[in-house]
Structure 1
């Protein structure tokens, strides 16, 4: 029986990242699974990209996050840390602030991710500004599409204004934080949004299991 041909790459530069991921997940996922997931990640990001300069790198980052989530779902031995997913509409404001603050304050005691139901092309510049003011680096952040693997792997899903488009899965702990959207808001308002989210983060940290 002949093996099915691998799907065609939309960008040949993806081959290097696929090879790296194949080594990282050797013995857990097939080459076909990894290549298909990288291509899907690339195509999802390309839908909203204004500039494609870094699309190959971002696709590998997104695919790695999805493969890590898939391994967790399938019962791979992992860190045992609580996994928290923040979801908003565009993954350019509120969910990025929340994920960055939790990552910063949790000190490695949680696996944190964020996504958008309709991801924007880029993170709001003012969001990066107010986080930098708070000593939180958002340099490598980018809006990501919401994928099934990341939702299913999460222990806690926190929605932030995505309404009916927010995911619902049985057995998950769901929280909804009704926070104002910072899109188009002046920096003083966005600082207030950052501080409001940070107060929610304090409560969340108190509720997370100690590791």
Structure 2
């Protein structure tokens, strides 16, 4: 069994917030944390404004695809972070849950997505600090 923590990001469409969070965590934590994202009602594609906003920071999300939330994904995760799902996100006992209140980037342009992206990045940095001990 891996000692590496695992995180699952969940939003309804898995097209914006959860994709940006997963991309940031993958980029900033490297292989120290297993990262997943999913949605209760996945969109067909990732939000192009989210892709553009992340590309501005050198993170490529252009090949990501929204995925359906499964019981297996939750079972395999230590931390489940929901993002505006409300009652759409199921609860599974024994997991650390956080609910991040974030604006929904759906239908917004890149100018509106940037502050959401920056808020997610700050939260990801704090999450990494809580999951991975500092190396000396």
The answer to whether TM tops 0.5 is yes
Does the residue aligned with 1:84 lie in a helix, a strand or coil?
strand
Matches of 1:81 and 1:206, distance apart in 2: 14
5+ residue gaps in structure 1?
A: 1-76
* Aligned counterpart for 2:8 among listed residues 85, 97, 104: 85
Does the residue aligned with 1:158 lie in a helix, a strand or coil?
strand
> Hey, what does 1:59 align to over in structure 2?
none
Equivalent pair of 1:98/1:197 in contact (CA under 8 Å): yes
* Aligned counterpart for 2:60 among listed residues 112, 115, 137: 137
Greater percentage in helix? 1
What is the root-mean-square deviation in Å for CA atoms of aligned residues? 1.2
Matches of 2:107 and 2:132, distance apart in 1: 36
- For normalisation by structure 1, the TM-score amounts to 0.62
Matches within 5 A, 1:87-102: 87-102=10-25
Matches of 1:129 and 1:147, distance apart in 2: 28
Matches of 1:195 and 1:209, distance apart in 2: 21
Higher relative contact order, chain-length normalized (CA < 8 Å, sep 6+): 2
* Aligned counterpart for 1:150 among listed residues 73, 80, 105: 73
5+ residue gaps in structure 2?
A: none
Equivalent pair of 2:32/2:132 in contact (CA under 8 Å): no
> Hey, what does 1:182 align to over in structure 2?
105
Q: Does 1:195 align with 2:118?
A: yes
Q: List 4+ stretches of structure 1 deviating above 2 A.
A: none
Deviation of the 1:165 alpha carbon: 1.3
Deviation of the 1:120 alpha carbon: 0.4
Matches of 1:187 and 1:165, distance apart in 2: 26
Q: Provide Cα deviations, 1:132-152, integer angstroms capped at 9, x if missing partner.
A: 111111132100000110111
Matches of 1:124 and 1:108, distance apart in 2: 25
The number of aligned residues is 134
